């Protein structure tokens, strides 16, 4: 196994350094390119999420079968 010396001034001395193979680094870059970052929630989405959680806690949510049944009866 080879030993590599990295001067402290290169990475600031206070940050952690991680060494990975080129293949792992390229895989990381490909994975990162495929995934999208988090999207901040708007106020209306936050309210809708809070309402959905409240309904779920109260047990007033419909199952998928109930939704399908209701949609089928409308046609």
Q: What is the pLDDT of residue 20?
A: 87
Measured over the CA atoms of residue 39, residue 42, residue 44 and residue 47, the dihedral's sign is: positive
Q: Is residue 56 part of a domain?
A: yes
Q: Is residue 61 part of a domain?
A: yes
Q: What is the pLDDT of residue 35?
A: 75
Q: Is residue 7 part of a domain?
A: no
Number of structural domains found in the chain: 1
Q: Is residue 29 part of a domain?
A: no
Q: Is the pLDDT of residue 61 over 80?
A: yes
Q: Is the pLDDT of residue 63 over 70?
A: yes
* Integer angstrom CA distances of residue 61 from 1, 29, 51, 54, 66: 59, 40, 11, 9, 10
Q: Is residue 64 part of a domain?
A: yes
Whole-model pTM: value is 0.40
pLDDT digits (tens, 9 = 90+) for 1-51: 677 777 777 777 666 777 888 999 899 888 887 777 777 889 999 999 999
Q: Is residue 1 part of a domain?
A: no
Report how far residue 56's alpha carbon sits from residue 65's, in angstroms, rounded to the nearest whole number.
16
Q: Is residue 52 part of a domain?
A: yes
Q: Is residue 30 part of a domain?
A: no
Instruction: Quote the domain boundaries for residue 59.
Output: 43-74
């Amino acid at each position: 196994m080879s030993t590599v010396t990295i001067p402290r001034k290169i990475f600031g001395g206070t940050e952690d350094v991680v060494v990975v193979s080129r293949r792992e680094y390229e895989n990381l870059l490909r994975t990162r390119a495929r995934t999208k970052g988090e999207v901040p929630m708007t106020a209306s989405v936050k309210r809708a999420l809070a309402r959905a959680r409240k309904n779920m806690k109260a047990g007033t949510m419909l199952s998928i079968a109930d939704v399908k049944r209701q949609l089928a009866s409308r046609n």
